[in-house]
A and B are shown apart, each in its own frame.
Chain A
Amino acid sequence: MERLWSAGEWRTVREVLTELLQQRQIAYTTVMTVLDNLHKKGWLRRESSGKAHRYTPVMTREEYGAAQMRHALDASGDPAVALLKFVNQMSPEEAAGLRAALDAHERRNGR
């Protein structure tokens, strides 16, 4: 995924493999399977060029991050996922109450 994002254009399995091989040992079939899975999951668009397939991301990195974050925020209401959030969602009135408490404290301390 990272490779395809930084490429910013259509890539074949072979091209992705060549780039990955500079960093670590990896088999052609592994890359092919990963790309195929990502395509099936709807993350990659695919087109045929000759015998090989060429892939490009459906979403940009930003869109992808946003999609997963939306998911994370939606899921946070569901206790099953149980992430330890710094602060849970609340109503604007409650948030205003927090701000008031903080402001009152800062006024008391002359700031």
Chain B
Amino acid sequence: MTAALLLCAYALLITRLAPLALRRADRAPRLAVTAWYAAVVTVGSSLIAAAALLVATPEHSWERLCALVRLCVEALQGAHDWIGVLLAALALAGAAIVSFRIGVAAVGTLGASMRGRLRQARLAATAGRRLPGTGATVVDHDVATAYLVPGRHATIVVTSAAVEALTGRELAAVIAHEQGHHSGRHHLLVDGMRVLTRAFPRSRFLAVAHAQVALLVEICADESAARRHSRIDLARALVTMAEAQALPTVLAASGGDALTRIKRLLSPPVPLGRGTRAGLTAALAAMASAPVAVAGLALAWPLLMDCPAPFV
């Protein structure tokens, strides 16, 4: 029981601490994406392990917690099994509901994405023409924009207006950014978060994780473009395209992300050192494996000790 409570507290702590700890995480964007996923996995496995412990050790926990009301418990000796059955039923129902929600969200989100992406890729293939010297497809349109249609039929689409509005170097930087998305398989990272936020729409923690991962993959793509192109070209392209697409009816939502990217492109932060990065990776691994370790220990403890500690 105590271990289960500890795990719940741990999950709560991470949902509170992760957004604070990862606010200035853009010095290592790729590690930050890993950190967000590690945090989500940790919270999820903590809650699952806590539920499992409650169900797996009902007698032990019940008897120990109710040491003071042992008489009462003994009076209900026969009821232990009944409580165990009830807890097991609750846990099974909980597991079924959670898997059902994730399943429905996955089918809904990914199905719609795949259909949309397939249609986009097909349309780009029919209506677009190759941009010589690049892997991009140009489509005639008077709004300057560029995007990657991710997936098996991956296509980088640039509008004719974008080709006109940008200089050759800026355009090359934009295409490199989208190529960065493609080679990093960023759509999978974003898709994962989209499924989770859709499955648990009331979770503030998941909403923040989703928004942050979406921003961080843009930063990763910017970085991969900046390796071969100048940052100022990428920044200029970003501003030009933002202006071209701006609409008064759009709610202020994505502008903050774009401003973060611009500031980062213009004055890049010092990347984290190799040592710091390795240390953080180890800490993440420890954080993510803690719940399973605690649950394992709590289950194994009575077997390991003849006289188990009173609080396990």
Interface size on A, residues (CB 8 A): 40
Chain A at the B interface: SS class: helix
Asked whether, in the complex, the Cβ of B178 is within 8 Å of the Cβ of A84, the reply is yes
Once the chains bind, are A68 and B254 in contact (CB under 8 Å)? no
Please indicate the chain A residues that have their CB under 8 angstroms from the CB of B251 in the complex. 91
Quick check: B242 and A98 within 8 Å, CB to CB?
yes
- For the complex, is B252 an interface residue (Cβ under 8 Å from A)? yes
| Residues on the A chain within 8 Å of B150, using CB | 82-84
A108 → B minimal CB distance (Å): 9
Size band of the interface chain B makes with A: 35 or more
Is residue A75 within 8 Å, beta carbon to beta carbon, of the partner chain?
yes
The 11 listed contacts between A and B (C-beta, < 8 Å) are: A64-B127, A69-B139, A70-B141, A72-B123, A82-B113, A87-B254, A88-B257, A93-B255, A98-B255, A98-B258, A102-B235
At the interface, yes or no: A2 with Cβ under 8 Å from chain B?
Answer: yes
**Within 8 Å of chain A (Cβ to Cβ): is B109?**
yes
CB atoms of A105 and B177 under 8 A apart: no
Q: How far is the CA of A100 from the CA of B274 in the complex (A)?
A: 35
Whether the pair A61, B266 counts as a contact (CB closer than 8 A) is: no
| B194→A82 contact, CB < 8 A | yes
Partner of B255, one of A66, A81, A82, A95: A95
B216 to chain A, nearest CB (A): 13
* 1/0 contact string of A77-111 vs chain B (CB within 8 Å): 00111111111111111111111011001100000
Give A96 to B211 CA distance when docked, in angstroms.
23
* 9 residue pairs, one from A and one from B, having the closest CB atoms: A94-B255, A81-B116, A69-B141, A88-B254, A80-B112, A90-B255, A65-B140, A95-B246, A65-B127
With contacts A68-B127, A73-B145 known, is A86 near B238, CB below 8 A?
Answer: yes
Which residue from chain B places its CB closest to the CB of A108 in the assembled complex?
Answer: B266
Q: From residue 146 to 189 of chain B, which have CB atoms closer than 8 A to chain A?
A: 146-150, 157, 159, 174, 177-178, 181, 186-187
